[in-house]
């Protein structure tokens, strides 16, 4: 009952920067694929024995892989009742940290009361297959593949992926909205620090929440592929000249569809995974160029010297030119 | 080869721009790399917000006057390309204004047409408007200010000057040369000032003393005539328009407007790589704040150059503001390619007075300037799109670019035939002329 979820993430290249013109087209690879078989052969063990502090939740077990178990920490045992369109919407207004423990505590507070929960936990199989970052330079793509099989008559038809980005990278909200318009995903929003220009040491973390409709015709064999374009911030100074940014695992939820214009109605969400164990093999790393502290003194000195020299050259040329003109005109007169 | 006449040139330029706008729409829809500038998306989003009654400053990175968003409201009503047509029309207007200015100064038709072609057929120029950059509007306003001054329409010039400084802060650097050229010995409001035309100085026989003298400013004289009627009027009208526009914008959008549209530009220090020599210095010090002394020291070269140029060339107003703009961009803390348009629109106005020949001095300047840019862009590509740590090489490329700018600027100064925009009035000029010893 506790076999592993394997997360494999791939990040593909050529993401776009707010100031440049390139843009990522995701729609073809972003689709959800419908399971061929409706037989619920594999059941996820939501082995949450009790709500006390010693309980552990295993979500998304997979009998096919031998990866280690993820997410052995506390997770809400039952459904979450979310009033907002996004799970992160109220979190971002009341919290500044994106640490696992604080996020889990928040989720506990979102648990539905027993009288609100009148649905049956569907049979779900979750297997995250691949996670990687691809591309070169300051614009890359975080690639995540998830295999998800859900009992066909379940009302939980929306997979919600919460990507808590590390400090040092950001997602462009406008770029993501453009992808949404191209139907790359059903819905997307960015929370936290959405300033596109500040360096990482002057900015905070941000979160991307992506909603994917698993009932769409693009969902085949339960496989969902996500490509999230990301951009590097300017990094703190490093001796080595490169800053290492590590990505954790995404948080996964399975939710009922959000019904707009009925704001009192709450969405029901089931927690599939919160964060995950980071191991050397599974960690996704992006090395970003950073300024070298040892350059500071001579760069400043030469910069100012160059500015002074150029200014002096122009000053001399201006004065000499003026004098030459006045001499010419004095001779003419 | 028969030279193309201005109407055909303008017609061709118009068709070219329409084609590029249409092509741009196609490319945006069908290709990954968009033709449209990212800034245009920012303007359009801000305009859409304004159209729905919200603040345009809710759009991140919108750092312009609300007026720009207002002009682009039809993007949401008619078609998203409305702004591009507006900017391209301004671009064509700049071409027309260049011709008007040169014709008023009696520049021969052939030289006039070549000068206009430098603007209308410059690839940078016709792409900038069609990609959705708003700088052609600023260029058109500045040229109109020059035309108004040449026609003696002081109030009109002052109005547009106040407006353009509200729209884009950088034209504030032209305040001093404009004020200086409004010398009552030169400029009398209500009268069309006599212009120094192109033929003056071309003739082989010397002309009269009063027409040909170049007067350096005697500091005492300048101070005495500083508060002339024309100068006060210009200052009051332009200052009033500037403050009124800011007051209206502040009334609607509060501190967001002040910070994003004005203060941001005055205090901007961007650590991200750009053409400026200061970018790496700023990045290396970004974790700590600069002291007031450090900020002042870094501003000194810019300050010195601006004053040197104004006091050397203010009477040749167009040449002066051209040099000031090139220097301002070169010594700025942040340099992006769109800033080059600021002096591209003034370059055709000074070419007829340059003794620099295209072969080979002119070509050398062009090759050096473009070469230095290309060199920088190569290192920028290695950093941004390949992920190599080449900050040092990129910074050196910025130094090379500054050197190229300085070289070209010095060459232009050396090869320029100084020609004041206005002639002094003879009746009082004789008494008040100050000769250089």
The string of pLDDT tens digits covering residues A246-294 is 998 888 888 887 666 555 667 788 888 777 544 445 678 999 999 999 9
The string of pLDDT tens digits covering residues B100-117 is 999 999 999 999 999 999
Tell me if B20 is assigned to some domain: yes
Q: DSSP letter for A196, please.
A: S
The residue among A175, A231, A303 with the most chain B CBs within 10 A of its CB, best to mutate, is A303
Tell me if B402 is assigned to some domain: no
What are the structure tokens assigned to A4, written together? 């592993």
Tell me if B372 is assigned to some domain: no
Going by C-beta distance under 8 Å and a sequence separation of 6 or more, which residues neighbour residue B203? none
Smallest CA–CA distance, residue A332 to chain B, in Å, is 6
User: Closest chain A residue to B390 measured between Cα atoms?
Assistant: A289
The string of pLDDT tens digits covering residues B128-156 is 999 999 999 999 999 999 999 999 899 99
* pLDDT band, very low/low/confident/very high, at A20 (cuts 50, 70, 90): very low
Q: How far apart are CA A319 and CA A234, in angstroms?
A: 42
Cα-to-chain-centroid distance, residue A127:
19
Tell me, what's the pLDDT at A109? 77
- CA proximity to A146, closest of A2, A41, A31, A280: A31
Tell me if B257 is assigned to some domain: yes
Is the peptide bond between B29 and the residue preceding it cis, with omega within 30 degrees of 0?
no
Tell me if B322 is assigned to some domain: yes
Of residues B290 and B173, which shows the higher confidence score?
B173
- Are A321 and B284 a contacting pair at CB < 8 A? no
Q: How far apart are CA B308 and CA A322, in angstroms?
A: 11
What are the structure tokens assigned to A6, written together? 């394997």
Tell me, what's the pLDDT at A214? 81
Q: Closest partner residue to B281 among A195, A300, A321, by Cβ?
A: A300
* Residue B244 CB coordination number (10 Å): 13
Tell me, what's the pLDDT at A41? 41
- Are A234 and B283 a contacting pair at CB < 8 A? yes
Q: Based on the structure, what is the number of domains in chain B? A: 1
Q: How far apart are CA B256 and CA B250, in angstroms?
A: 8
What is the DSSP code string of B316-328?
SHHHHHHHHHHHH
Tell me if B406 is assigned to some domain: no
CA angle, A211 then A213 then A218, to 5°: 125
Tell me, what's the pLDDT at A10? 26
Tell me, what's the pLDDT at A98? 73
> Helix or strand or coil: residue A127?
strand
* Backbone φ, ψ for residue B333 (5° rounding): -70, -25
Q: How far apart are CA A240 and CA A227, in angstroms?
A: 30
- Chain A partners within 8 Å of B312 (Cβ): 318-319, 321-322
Which of residues 195 through 254 in chain A touch B, CB cutoff 8 A?
195-197, 199, 201-202, 234, 236-237, 241-242
Lowest-confidence segment of A100-114, B34-48, B159-173, B279-293 by average pLDDT: A100-114
User: Closest chain A residue to B417 measured between Cα atoms?
Assistant: A325
Q: How far apart are CA B300 and CA B303, in angstroms?
A: 5
* Residue A324 CB coordination number (10 Å): 12
Q: How far apart are CA A91 and CA B124, in angstroms?
A: 47
Q: Closest partner residue to B402 among A242, A292, A310, by Cβ?
A: A310
Q: Closest partner residue to B34 among A17, A23, A317, by Cβ?
A: A23
User: Closest chain A residue to B209 measured between Cα atoms?
Assistant: A333
Residue listed under structure tokens 């649905």: A119
Going by C-beta distance under 8 Å and a sequence separation of 6 or more, which residues neighbour residue A181? none
Residue A67 has pLDDT above 70, yes or no: no
What is the DSSP code string of A248-294?
-PPEEEEEEPP-TT-TTSPEEEEEEE-S----TTT-EEEEEE---GG
Q: Closest partner residue to A20 among B38, B271, B272, by Cβ?
A: B38
Q: How far apart are CA B317 and CA B322, in angstroms?
A: 9
The string of pLDDT tens digits covering residues B247-276 is 999 999 999 898 888 888 777 777 889 999
- Chain B partners within 8 Å of A20 (Cβ): 38
* pLDDT band, very low/low/confident/very high, at A221 (cuts 50, 70, 90): low
- Are B32 and A234 a contacting pair at CB < 8 A? no
Which of residues 165 through 194 in chain A touch B, CB cutoff 8 A?
173-174, 194
What are the structure tokens assigned to A139, written together? 């614009």
Residue B12 has pLDDT above 80, yes or no: yes
* pLDDT band, very low/low/confident/very high, at A196 (cuts 50, 70, 90): confident
Q: How far apart are CA A195 and CA B260, in angstroms?
A: 13
The residue among A11, A23, A296, A299 with the most chain B CBs within 10 A of its CB, best to mutate, is A299
Range of the domain at B99: 6-197+221-354
Dihedral angle sign, alpha carbons of residues A120, A122, A123, A126: negative
- Are the C-beta atoms of residues B386 and B361 closer than 8 Å to each other? no
Q: How far apart are CA A2 and CA B177, in angstroms?
A: 79
What are the structure tokens assigned to B62, written together? 């919108």
Q: How far apart are CA B133 and CA B44, in angstroms?
A: 11
Q: What is the ipTM of this complex?
A: 0.87
- Are B280 and A295 a contacting pair at CB < 8 A? yes
* pLDDT band, very low/low/confident/very high, at B3 (cuts 50, 70, 90): low
Tell me if B310 is assigned to some domain: yes
Residue listed under structure tokens 């750009």: B274
- Are A307 and B301 a contacting pair at CB < 8 A? yes
The string of pLDDT tens digits covering residues A129-139 is 678 999 999 99
Strand partners, A252: A161, A273
Which of residues 36 through 65 in chain A touch B, CB cutoff 8 A?
none
Tell me if B187 is assigned to some domain: yes
- Are A242 and B389 a contacting pair at CB < 8 A? yes
Smallest CA–CA distance, residue B310 to chain A, in Å, is 10
Smallest CA–CA distance, residue A43 to chain B, in Å, is 41
Strand partners, A148: A126
- Are the C-beta atoms of residues A186 and A158 closer than 8 Å to each other? yes
User: Closest chain A residue to B273 measured between Cα atoms?
Assistant: A234
- Chain B partners within 8 Å of A168 (Cβ): none
> Helix or strand or coil: residue A162?
strand
Smallest CA–CA distance, residue A9 to chain B, in Å, is 20
The pairing of strands A284-289 and A223-232 is unpaired
User: Closest chain A residue to B32 measured between Cα atoms?
Assistant: A23
How far is the CA of A283 from the CAs of A168, B94, B118, in angstroms?
A: 16, 56, 55
Q: What is the pTM of this model?
A: 0.81
User: Closest chain B residue to A140 measured between Cα atoms?
Assistant: B385
Residue listed under structure tokens 């040099």: B323
Q: How far apart are CA A254 and CA A156, in angstroms?
A: 6
């Amino acid at each position: 009952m506790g076999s592993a979820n394997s997360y494999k993430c791939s990040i593909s290249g050529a993401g776009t920067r707010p100031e440049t013109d390139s843009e990522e087209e995701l729609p073809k690879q972003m689709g959800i694929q419908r399971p061929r078989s409706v037989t619920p052969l594999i059941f996820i063990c939501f082995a949450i024995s009790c709500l006390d502090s010693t309980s552990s939740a295993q979500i998304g077990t997979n009998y096919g892989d031998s990866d280690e178990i993820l997410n052995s920490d506390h997770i809400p045992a039952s459904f979450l009742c979310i009033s907002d369109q996004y799970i992160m919407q109220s979190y971002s207004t009341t919290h500044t940290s994106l640490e696992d423990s604080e996020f889990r505590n928040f989720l506990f507070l979102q648990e539905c009361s027993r009288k609100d929960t009148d649905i049956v936990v569907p049979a779900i199989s979750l297997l995250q297959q691949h996670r990687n970052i691809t591309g070169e330079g300051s614009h890359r793509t975080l690639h995540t593949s998830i295999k998800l099989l859900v009992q066909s008559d379940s009302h939980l038809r929306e997979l919600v992926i919460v990507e808590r980005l590390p400090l040092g990278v950001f997602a462009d909200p406008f770029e993501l909205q453009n992808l949404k318009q191209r139907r790359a995903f059903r819905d997307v929003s960015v929370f936290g620090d959405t300033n596109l220009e500040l360096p990482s040491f002057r900015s905070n973390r941000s979160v991307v929440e992506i909603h994917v409709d698993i009932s769409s015709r693009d969902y085949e064999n339960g496989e969902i592929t996500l490509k999230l374009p990301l951009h590097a911030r300017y990094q703190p100074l490093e001796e080595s000249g490169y800053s290492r940014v590590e990505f954790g695992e995404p948080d996964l939820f399975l939710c009922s569809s959000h019904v707009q214009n009925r704001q009192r109605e709450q969405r029901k969400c089931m927690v599939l995974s919160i964060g995950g164990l980071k191991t050397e093999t599974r960690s996704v790393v992006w090395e970003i160029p950073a300024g070298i502290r040892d350059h500071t003194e001579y760069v400043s000195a030469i910069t100012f010297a160059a500015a002074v020299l150029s200014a002096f050259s122009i000053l001399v040329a201006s004065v000499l030119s003026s004098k030459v003109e006045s001499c010419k005109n004095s001779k003419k007169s | 080869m028969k030279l193309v006449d201005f109407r055909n040139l303008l017609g061709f330029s118009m068709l070219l721009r329409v084609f590029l706008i249409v092509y741009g729409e196609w490319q945006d829809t069908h290709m990954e790399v968009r033709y449209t500038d990212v800034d245009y998306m920012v303007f359009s989003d801000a305009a859409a917000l304004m159209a729905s009654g919200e603040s345009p400053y809710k759009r991140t990175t919108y750092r312009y006057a609300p007026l720009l968003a207002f002009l682009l409201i039809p993007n949401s009503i008619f078609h998203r390309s409305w702004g591009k047509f507006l900017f391209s029309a301004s671009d064509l207007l700049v071409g027309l204004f260049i011709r008007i200015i040169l014709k008023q100064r009696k520049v021969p038709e052939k030289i006039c047409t070549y000068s206009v072609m430098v603007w209308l057929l410059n690839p940078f120029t016709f792409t900038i408007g069609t990609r959705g950059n708003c700088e052609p509007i600023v260029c058109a306003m500045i040229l109109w200010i020059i035309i108004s001054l040449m026609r003696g329409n002081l109030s009109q010039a002052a109005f547009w000057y106040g407006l353009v400084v509200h729209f884009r802060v950088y034209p504030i650097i032209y305040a001093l040369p404009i004020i200086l050229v409004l010398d009552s010995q030169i400029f009398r409001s209500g009268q069309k000032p006599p212009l120094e035309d192109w033929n003056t100085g071309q003739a082989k026989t010397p002309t009269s003393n009063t027409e040909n003298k170049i007067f350096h400013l005697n500091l005492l004289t300048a101070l005495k005539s500083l508060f002339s009627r024309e100068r006060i009027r210009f200052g009051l009208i332009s200052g009033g328009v500037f403050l009124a526009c800011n007051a209206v914008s502040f009334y609607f959008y509060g501190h967001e407007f002040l910070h994003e549209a004005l203060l941001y530009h005055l205090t901007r220090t961007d650590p991200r790589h750009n053409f400026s020599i200061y970018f790496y210095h700023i990045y290396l010090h970004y974790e700590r704040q600069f002291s007031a002394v450090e900020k002042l020291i870094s501003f000194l070269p810019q300050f010195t150059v601006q004053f040197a140029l104004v006091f050397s060339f203010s009477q040749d107003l167009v040449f002066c503001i051209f040099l000031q703009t090139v220097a301002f961009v070169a010594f700025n803390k942040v340099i992006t390619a769109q800033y080059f348009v600021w002096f591209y629109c003034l370059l055709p106005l000074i070419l007829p007075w340059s003794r620099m020949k295209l072969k080979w001095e002119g070509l050398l300047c062009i090759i050096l300037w473009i070469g230095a840019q290309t060199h920088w862009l190569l290192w920028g590509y290695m950093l941004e799109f390949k992920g190599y740590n080449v900050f040092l090489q990129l910074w050196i490329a910025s130094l090379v670019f500054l050197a190229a700018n300085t070289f070209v600027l010095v060459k232009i100064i050396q090869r320029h035939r100084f020609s004041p925009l206005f002639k002094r009035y003879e009746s009082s000029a004789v008494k008040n002329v100050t000769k250089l010893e």
